[in-house]
């Protein structure tokens, strides 16, 4: 998909704040909103509230990042260090209601 800060998966809206940059480690926070507009109860999946994988277009530069151990103001917060500029596909796994869902984003790192 085209770059956007929100996406929808199975009726859940997932949005992020943060701007990955080549070099420095920066925060990215993801907020999940349920189909009813309320924040769902997020569950741990494989020991964490979320898992984030990023693949760079072209050479498939790869990141697999775990979040902070606890939610931060209801968000899943990751600290990212991207290997360089480019277009990345982000895959965020999160669990709610006993099901794991994957939200997909496209991000351009400059």
Identify whether 12 is part of a domain: yes
pLDDT per position as a tens digit, 36-95: 999 999 999 999 999 999 999 998 888 889 999 999 999 999 999 988 899 999 999 999
The pLDDT value recorded for residue 10 is 97
Phi, psi of 94, deg, nearest 5: -145, 155
Task: Look up residue 97 and give its two tokens.
Answer: 């209601």
DSSP secondary structure letters along 4-67: -SEEEETTEEEEEE----BSS-EEEEEEEE-TTSSPP--B-BTTBS-EEEEEETTT--EEEE--
Contact 15, 5 (CB under 8 A): yes
Identify whether 53 is part of a domain: yes
Identify whether 14 is part of a domain: yes
The pLDDT value recorded for residue 62 is 86
Domain tally, the chain: 1
Q: Which domain holds residue 23?
A: 6-109
CATH of the domain at 52: 2.60.40.1940
Does the CA dihedral 55-42-14-99 come out positive or negative?
Answer: positive
Identify whether 1 is part of a domain: no
């Amino acid at each position: 998909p085209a770059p956007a800060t929100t996406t929808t998966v199975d009726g859940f809206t997932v949005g992020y704040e943060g701007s990955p940059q080549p070099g420095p480690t920066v925060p990215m926070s993801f907020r999940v909103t349920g189909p009813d507009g309320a924040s769902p109860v997020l569950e741990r999946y494989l020991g964490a509230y979320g898992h984030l994988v990023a693949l760079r277009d072209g050479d498939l530069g790869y990141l697999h990042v775990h979040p902070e151990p606890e939610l931060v103001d209801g968000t899943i917060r990751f600290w990212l260090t991207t290997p360089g500029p480019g277009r990345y596909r982000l895959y965020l796994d999160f669990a709610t209601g006993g099901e794991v869902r994957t939200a997909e984003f496209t991000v351009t790192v400059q």
